[in-house]
Structure 1
């Protein structure tokens, strides 16, 4: 069940995203920084938009490890892929950077 791995350099930080299919569903694994880890799990489920315009919205559920901020990246990845595919997506993983700057955080959130 290996999947495609995408590597990105963002603000001097190497990020890897592995995508694997489980039947019709998608699992994303996010890893990067000095100490890749599992800091969060996000499940994104597609649903019709409440605007009734035919677009897809997403409902997400999040499990965080205490003190971890990985939800911001995992949620963005899971919801984006869910909207793109209309499939259930789970994203797990984490990025840890010692002494990360605010600029690096903003860049990661913009470009992930």
Structure 2
């Protein structure tokens, strides 16, 4: 199995947050934008998703957006591009595990 290196950067734009997530083959595969709203006294997240044809980076981007919106209570955009040619299930699972660990770090350390 190949080594998988993910990189996340965060940049504030006024009160809004932009998150970039990529590997060494980074690109714009998906863009997810989310914002908080109140319903029944609880904060929820509404999202809009844009994908390049054939890309599934939105799954990762949506995870970051939901977590960041709930933590920071602001509009969050995640631009995500993770590419591994001929990815296998084991590599996909490793990416998802790394993503969840990184989200936990983002929530803990901002």
The alignment's TM-score, normalised by the length of structure 1, stands at 0.79
Deviation at residue 101 of structure 1 after TM alignment: 1.5
Runs of at least 5 residues in structure 1 that lack an aligned partner in the other structure: 1-10
Higher helix share: 2
The CA distance in 2 between the partners of 1:65 and 1:109, in whole Å, is 20
Runs of at least 5 residues in structure 2 that lack an aligned partner in the other structure: 100-110
Determine whether 1:92 maps to 2:79.
yes
**Does the Cα contact within 8 Å between 2:23 and 2:82 map onto a contact in 1?**
yes
Deviation at residue 108 of structure 1 after TM alignment: 2.1
State the superposition RMSD in angstroms. 1.5
Residue aligning to 1:31: 22
Higher strand share: 1
Residue aligning to 1:66: 53
Runs of 4+ in 1 over 6 A off after TM superposition: none
Determine whether 1:46 maps to 2:32.
no
**Does the Cα contact within 8 Å between 2:58 and 2:80 map onto a contact in 1?**
no
The alignment's TM-score, normalised by the length of structure 2, stands at 0.81
The CA distance in 1 between the partners of 2:69 and 2:97, in whole Å, is 18
